[in-house]
Amino acid sequence: MLAPRSLVVVGALLLAGCGGSSLGSGESCQQLMDTFSSAYTAALICTPGADNQCQQQAPGLTCNCDAPVQDATQLNAIAVELRAQGCVPKQAAECPCAASGPAACAPADGGGGVCQTTLPHN
Protein backbone atom coordinates (compact mmCIF):
# COMPACT_ATOMS: atom_id res chain seq x y z
CA MET A 1 0.00 0.00 0.00
CA LEU A 2 2.74 2.40 -0.97
CA ALA A 3 0.80 5.16 -2.69
CA PRO A 4 -1.83 5.84 0.03
CA ARG A 5 0.77 6.02 2.79
CA SER A 6 2.93 8.37 0.73
CA LEU A 7 -0.06 10.71 0.31
CA VAL A 8 -0.62 10.77 4.07
CA VAL A 9 3.09 11.46 4.64
CA VAL A 10 2.97 14.34 2.16
CA GLY A 11 -0.09 15.67 3.96
CA ALA A 12 1.69 15.45 7.31
CA LEU A 13 4.65 17.36 5.93
CA LEU A 14 2.33 20.12 4.82
CA LEU A 15 1.12 20.68 8.37
CA ALA A 16 4.32 22.47 9.28
CA GLY A 17 3.99 24.84 6.33
CA CYS A 18 0.32 25.60 6.88
CA GLY A 19 0.68 27.11 10.31
CA GLY A 20 -2.28 27.63 12.53
CA SER A 21 -3.79 30.79 11.12
CA SER A 22 -7.49 30.89 10.41
CA LEU A 23 -8.41 32.00 6.93
CA GLY A 24 -11.53 32.51 4.79
CA SER A 25 -13.59 29.42 5.69
CA GLY A 26 -13.02 29.81 9.42
CA GLU A 27 -10.92 26.66 9.52
CA SER A 28 -7.15 26.89 9.86
CA CYS A 29 -4.84 25.06 7.50
CA GLN A 30 -4.11 22.64 10.34
CA GLN A 31 -7.83 21.90 10.77
CA LEU A 32 -8.29 21.40 7.03
CA MET A 33 -5.29 19.07 6.86
CA ASP A 34 -6.65 17.07 9.81
CA THR A 35 -10.02 16.87 8.05
CA PHE A 36 -8.31 15.76 4.83
CA SER A 37 -6.38 13.07 6.68
CA SER A 38 -9.54 11.69 8.33
CA ALA A 39 -11.47 11.83 5.05
CA TYR A 40 -8.63 10.05 3.27
CA THR A 41 -8.69 7.19 5.76
CA ALA A 42 -12.46 6.88 5.31
CA ALA A 43 -12.16 7.04 1.50
CA LEU A 44 -9.87 4.00 1.50
CA ILE A 45 -12.62 1.74 2.89
CA CYS A 46 -14.01 -0.64 0.28
CA THR A 47 -15.70 -4.04 -0.10
CA PRO A 48 -13.38 -6.85 -1.23
CA GLY A 49 -14.81 -8.85 -4.11
CA ALA A 50 -17.39 -6.23 -5.11
CA ASP A 51 -17.35 -4.70 -8.60
CA ASN A 52 -15.93 -1.25 -9.36
CA GLN A 53 -13.98 -0.77 -6.14
CA CYS A 54 -11.21 1.83 -5.72
CA GLN A 55 -11.77 3.43 -9.14
CA GLN A 56 -11.49 7.09 -8.07
CA GLN A 57 -8.31 9.03 -7.35
CA ALA A 58 -7.53 11.04 -4.22
CA PRO A 59 -5.94 14.35 -5.19
CA GLY A 60 -2.24 14.83 -4.58
CA LEU A 61 -1.90 18.02 -2.55
CA THR A 62 1.69 19.02 -3.31
CA CYS A 63 2.73 16.46 -5.92
CA ASN A 64 0.82 15.11 -8.87
CA CYS A 65 0.78 11.62 -7.32
CA ASP A 66 -2.83 10.58 -6.89
CA ALA A 67 -3.89 7.49 -4.93
CA PRO A 68 -6.85 5.14 -5.47
CA VAL A 69 -9.84 5.53 -3.14
CA GLN A 70 -13.43 4.37 -3.07
CA ASP A 71 -14.94 7.88 -3.09
CA ALA A 72 -12.91 11.05 -3.65
CA THR A 73 -15.81 13.52 -3.37
CA GLN A 74 -15.00 14.87 0.09
CA LEU A 75 -11.25 14.82 -0.56
CA ASN A 76 -11.67 16.89 -3.71
CA ALA A 77 -13.75 19.48 -1.84
CA ILE A 78 -11.20 19.76 0.98
CA ALA A 79 -8.34 20.02 -1.54
CA VAL A 80 -10.13 22.93 -3.25
CA GLU A 81 -10.42 24.73 0.10
CA LEU A 82 -6.77 24.03 0.99
CA ARG A 83 -5.68 25.54 -2.33
CA ALA A 84 -8.06 28.51 -2.04
CA GLN A 85 -6.64 29.37 1.38
CA GLY A 86 -3.02 28.99 0.24
CA CYS A 87 -2.32 26.00 2.48
CA VAL A 88 -1.00 23.99 -0.47
CA PRO A 89 0.16 25.04 -3.94
CA LYS A 90 -2.60 25.90 -6.41
CA GLN A 91 -1.06 23.45 -8.88
CA ALA A 92 0.61 20.22 -7.84
CA ALA A 93 4.27 19.96 -8.75
CA GLU A 94 5.69 17.27 -11.00
CA CYS A 95 7.19 14.84 -8.50
CA PRO A 96 8.55 11.34 -8.90
CA CYS A 97 5.71 9.01 -7.96
CA ALA A 98 6.08 5.44 -6.76
CA ALA A 99 5.54 2.97 -9.57
CA SER A 100 2.29 1.13 -9.09
CA GLY A 101 -0.05 -1.17 -10.88
CA PRO A 102 -3.83 -1.34 -10.91
CA ALA A 103 -5.91 -0.48 -7.87
CA ALA A 104 -7.73 -3.16 -5.93
CA CYS A 105 -9.72 -3.59 -2.74
CA ALA A 106 -7.65 -5.79 -0.45
CA PRO A 107 -8.96 -7.46 2.71
CA ALA A 108 -8.10 -5.44 5.81
CA ASP A 109 -7.18 -6.66 9.26
CA GLY A 110 -10.34 -6.80 11.34
CA GLY A 111 -12.65 -7.17 8.34
CA GLY A 112 -13.71 -5.03 5.43
CA GLY A 113 -11.26 -3.84 2.83
CA VAL A 114 -8.89 -1.06 1.92
CA CYS A 115 -7.98 0.41 -1.47
CA GLN A 116 -4.40 -0.10 -2.51
CA THR A 117 -2.30 -0.31 -5.60
CA THR A 118 -0.33 -3.35 -6.56
CA LEU A 119 3.31 -3.09 -7.46
CA PRO A 120 4.12 -3.98 -11.05
CA HIS A 121 5.88 -7.31 -11.59
CA ASN A 122 9.25 -7.17 -13.29
Spatial separation of the C-alpha atoms in residues 11 and 5, rounded to whole Å: 10
pTM: 0.72
Distance, first Cα to last Cα, the chain: 18
Q: What is the pLDDT of residue 3?
A: 43
User: Can you tell me the mean pLDDT for 72-80?
Assistant: 94
Domains of the chain by residue range: 2-16+24-117
pLDDT at 32 > cutoff 90: yes
